[in-house]
Structure 1
């Protein structure tokens, strides 16, 4: 997973971590994921990627 691409896309779209998380997970979950501390479930990751627009494969190294 290319977390840097994930973060760049979130920022490009103007989402805060809280805005991206709304209705999917907590802001803390995204923070832990983006800081490399915790991998999130495929279900949550898929929903976040759908919100960011590209397919999940875009973020795979």
Structure 2
């Protein structure tokens, strides 16, 4: 029972983090309460490798 509660809590926290990222930093806006968290999210995503348009069209 405890494992199910912990797993569901973790899932809700991950979903909330994705929703907050999409709502603010992804659109280039500052987060209203904790702008440091938005800056940290943006830096983390910017450090990941991405495909350019020319690379995705093969």
Tell me the TM-score normalised to structure 1 length.
Answer: 0.29
What is the TM-score of this pair, normalised by structure 2? Answer: 0.30
**Quick check: which one's helix share is greater?**
2
Q: Which has the larger radius of gyration?
A: 2
Higher relative contact order, chain-length normalized (CA < 8 Å, sep 6+): 1
